[in-house]
Amino acid sequence: MSESRWAGRVALVTGASRGIGEAVVRVLVELGLRVVACGRDEARLEALAAELGEAVWPLAFDLRDLAAIEGAFAQVRARWGGVAVLVNNAGLGKDAPLLSGASDDWRTILEVNVLALCVCTREATADMLRAGSGHVIHVSSMSGHRVPGGGGGVYAASKHAVRALTEGLRRELRAARADGVRVTAVSPGYVATDFHQTLKGGDPAFARPVDYPMLSAADVAEAVRYALCAPAHVELHDVLMRPTQQET
């Protein structure tokens, strides 16, 4: 597919204030899309928009507020028309093992990684079905394909849910004969972002969980580009990607 398929159309990226989401925004702008960059950190979103120009609209809200999600999509419809590309990227882990974790931490993981993703998907696919085309991309994880040790059970459960939601959406779209709307998951292993530090309550000692080269956020964003730019009849289902030295 040429880049022109998406030029001028609208994308919404969650978790765009840093890490993988920020890198995805850069790729989407390169593809000619106008991008609604979402997150909670308004200052970082504003800085990204200042750097990339009018193609980026920073929109700050908390994904745990489901009414705020609906409000954001309504704003996008009113100002830019509907969303053609949704990148459900926002997500987090917590140091919250099943034997001892805090209930609120489990709730936050499930609210952001699963429930908000569902609401964003429903709102965006309504726009895509009206337009007859679109692409939903979930940033999932290798933890959606196997369960790591170390207390990551609830995080892995959330990403296994994303795996099921990818196939569930694909089945609904096919049943609706919505052939112009595709769904893809991208499932990375270790990526060098703030994710690991955030998981450990912001402790910088945990910024690098492994001593080998991790994937970069840009590596993951390139997988998003590949999925978006596949020919119209090709639906990439799930891209599993790891650093070459990652064993599990």
Ligand X SMILES: NC(=O)c1ccc[n+]([C@@H]2O[C@H](COP(=O)([O-])OP(=O)(O)OC[C@H]3O[C@@H](n4cnc5c(N)ncnc54)[C@H](OP(=O)(O)O)[C@@H]3O)[C@@H](O)[C@H]2O)c1
The contact set with ligand X (CB under 6 A) reads 15, 17-21, 39-41, 62-64, 89-92, 112, 139, 141, 188, 190-191, 193-195, 198
Nearer to ligand X, 10 or 139 (CB): 139
- How far is the C-alpha of 91 from the C-alpha of 183, rounded, in Å? 18
User: Left if phi > 0, otherwise alpha if psi is -120 to 50, otherwise beta: which for 134?
Assistant: left
Q: Is 80 helix (H, G, I), strand (E, B) or coil?
A: helix
Q: In what order do the strands lie in the sheet with 10-13?
A: 56-60, 34-39, 10-13, 85-88, 134-139, 181-188, 238-241
Three-point CA angle 160, 242, 144, nearest 5°: 0
Distance in Å, CB of 179 to ligand X, minimum: 28
Nearer to ligand X, 32 or 86 (CB): 86
The answer to whether 155 is a known catalytic residue is yes
Q: Which of 155, 190, 212, 226 is catalytic?
A: 155
Distance in Å, CB of 32 to ligand X, minimum: 23
224 in Cβ contact with 137 (< 8 Å): yes
Nearer to ligand X, 38 or 173 (CB): 38
Distance in Å, CB of 235 to ligand X, minimum: 21
Give the closest residue to 229 by CA, choosing from 20, 7, 36.
7
Nearer to ligand X, 166 or 193 (CB): 193
The residues that are catalytic are: 155
